[in-house]
Structure 1
Amino acid sequence: MRDDESVPPTPRRPALFAAATLTVMCLGAAGCGAGDTAQARPGAAAGSPSAATASSPVPASPSPVRSSPAPAKHRPAASASAAKGPSGPLAGKTVVIDPGHNPRNHLHTAEIARQVDIGTTHKECDTTGTSTNSGYAEAEFTLDVAHRMRTLLRAQGAKVVLSHDNDRAFGPCVDERARIGNKAGADAVVSVHADGSAAGNRGFHVILPAPVRSGIADTTEIVGPSRDLGTRIAGLFVRTTGSAPSNYIGGNTGLDTRKDLGGLNLSTVPKVFIECGNMRDPKDAALLTSAGWRQKAAQGIADGISSYLNG
């Protein structure tokens, strides 16, 4: 069973990339952080009034007495990082992370069942996602990995936007998820997922947008750059996590192309999905429930994004 917008996959022709090329294309990206420097506020100097002359029969108007002003405190110059904003190899770049599903979708089944236009057809607003046999929800997994990715990418100077951050009752719908990336003018968008296939089906795969020009969907401009983004993510995911490409989708290339996902069809900026593993396979589930492995997964995806953005 697949959870990507609730549509089972149609067997695809193998992508044009051999599995061996994934590790060849691993191009790491080093991160660096940036800090802000607080500025001291200078103190104010106060003068002291003169006293009236005691011997004068009529109170005399006090003569102004000029006191020497207190030395002004040194005001440190603004730091270069504060003046220029975030620094790092991804400074000036915007990345949108789209954590798949929502932990509370199961409480709003009527709302997420609403049909939305994805260009090629109409589909459900969203789905509940899958889970491991022990009950660890895909929506919890995707948020955790998204948070780890955000930290890594911000450390490299990127502006990072999440499509949601467990701050909504349900959704967003798949069409809105696409609009969030479009509105942000994102340089790259990655939708994070985990699959719900049969036991024995193992490994990750990255889903690329197919060429689509239908209704409100037009992926003409993003197919090429999205393939570049997805290929780099796949290669660096292998290197960082040690996971193998899917043995049941993509012909062992780790890449799959689809035209039935609204999040891809409606995107006008480079975007891919990544299924980090199969939650229904015990061996994959052991990885997906490990915080240490999730950190590696976040690092692999972030490295792929950095490699793509740095050219």
Structure 2
Amino acid sequence: MSYVGPDFDPPQPRRPRRAPLTVALAALVPGALLGWLVYEAVGATGGGGSGDSAKPGGALTSATDTSRTPSASSSPADDGKKPGTARTGSAPAGTGPLAGKVVVIDPGHNSGNYRHTAEINRKVDIGNSRKECDTTGTSTNDGYSEARFTLDVSHRLRTLLEQEGATVKLTRDGDEPPWGPCVDERARIGNTSRADAAISIHADGSAVGNRGFHVILPGSVHAGAADTRPIVGPSRDLGERIAGGFVRVTGSAPSNYIGGGTGLDTRTDLGGLNLSTVPKVFIECGNMRDGKDAALLKSGAWRQKAAQGISEGIVSFLRG
């Protein structure tokens, strides 16, 4: 994800393409060693590819059955978007183990942001400072945008969580809204939904050679409209479980450039976390600017693994 502002090129035109180890990162003793041991056990290829990184930084609409259950082998172009469709609410809650639970998924950025620079550059209050409403996000070197990646993973994650019985809401879906929403609105959607857990999906835009994922946790902020003190503990628990599931299912290693090898990073400068009143974390799934990480992020099969790993962490958190 890009947290420094809309400084990336607009998305490039799409080009046709051819088509029982449990990670107890909750303990983190030490997290870096544990994550790396699992990484070595499952193989450094991460299920066939790799990718590049992102930086810190919708309205509820809908999709067809195909967009809600994207193929695990879909290409970057098959990102779960169906033009002209609208999702007005989450699917009916099931009778699975998460029945009665609400999860809000926040797909980072928006493919239309670069067309609305005035709107996304507008500063909003995040409690301890003011920051841009949103940013454009990053992309792979061949133009696969972070916004498309985050929406695809979010669709896959929604399907998995609904199968567990959860009620799932997205902060944006498809091309609605045409830009944003702003970071304060993304937090508000989770708050007004009284989410039991919320997650913002991103990918990083860091230097070549910087690889791996990291989960961003809210730090303690008590300023202005922000008071994260009640959610710091639960959010850490949520983040540790998601990190553990992500390592186990994807085989990706924790970030080699953020988090000291633990796959966890605490921040107090992100409005989506500062303004949240429900347990919430961000996940940077990989580095879009590194060729090896980018190959993973562009793989539909790997994105399905990413969604599965995140889902397992959320399910574990919500079941206690």
> What interval of TM-score do these two structures reach, taking the shorter chain for normalisation?
0.7 to 0.9
Q: 1: CA distance between counterparts of 2:180 and 2:234? A: 27
Q: 2: CA distance between counterparts of 1:112 and 1:158? A: 32
1:160-309 matches, within 5 Å, as 160-166=168-174, 167-309=176-318
- Post-superposition shift, 1:6? 3.9
Q: Does 1:115 align with 2:123?
A: yes
3-state SS, counterpart of residue 192 of structure 1:
strand
Q: 1:108 to 1:302 in 2, by over 3 A?
A: same
- Post-superposition shift, 1:21? 4.1
The size of the alignment, in residue pairs, is 245
Q: Which residue is 2:32 aligned to? A: 19
- Post-superposition shift, 1:86? 1.9
Gaps of 5+ in 2: 7-27, 39-91
- Post-superposition shift, 1:153? 0.3
Q: Which residue is 1:148 aligned to? A: 156
Between the two structures, name the one with larger relative contact order (CA 8 Å, sep ≥ 6).
Answer: 2
Q: 2: CA distance between counterparts of 1:148 and 1:200? A: 28
**2:135 aligned partner, one-letter code:** T
Q: Which residue is 1:4 aligned to? A: 3
Q: 2: CA distance between counterparts of 1:304 and 1:5? A: 29
Does the CA-based 8 Å contact 1:18-1:253 persist in structure 2?
A: yes
Q: 1: CA distance between counterparts of 2:269 and 2:93? A: 40
Does the CA-based 8 Å contact 1:88-1:155 persist in structure 2?
A: yes
Q: 1:187 to 1:23 in 2, by over 3 A?
A: farther
**1:213 aligned partner, one-letter code:** H
Q: 1: CA distance between counterparts of 2:190 and 2:93? A: 22
- Post-superposition shift, 1:18? 1.9
CA-based RMSD of the aligned residues comes to: 1.9
Q: Give me the TM-score of the superposition, normalised by structure 2.
A: 0.74
Identical-residue share of aligned pairs (%): 69
Gaps of 5+ in 1: 8-14, 26-83
> 1:172-203: CA deviations, max 9, x gaps?
00000000000000000000000000000000
Q: 2: CA distance between counterparts of 1:99 and 1:4? A: 14
Q: 1:280 to 1:23 in 2, by over 3 A?
A: closer
Does the CA-based 8 Å contact 2:124-2:130 persist in structure 1?
A: yes
- Post-superposition shift, 1:19? 2.0
3-state SS, counterpart of residue 203 of structure 2:
strand
Q: 1:221 to 1:23 in 2, by over 3 A?
A: farther
**1:249 aligned partner, one-letter code:** I
> 1:90-128: CA deviations, max 9, x gaps?
000000000000011111011100000001100000000
Higher Rg of the two aligned structures: 1
**1:3 aligned partner, one-letter code:** S
Does the CA-based 8 Å contact 1:111-1:125 persist in structure 2?
A: yes
Q: Give me the TM-score of the superposition, normalised by structure 1.
A: 0.76
> 1:222-268: CA deviations, max 9, x gaps?
00000000000001100000000000000000000000000000000
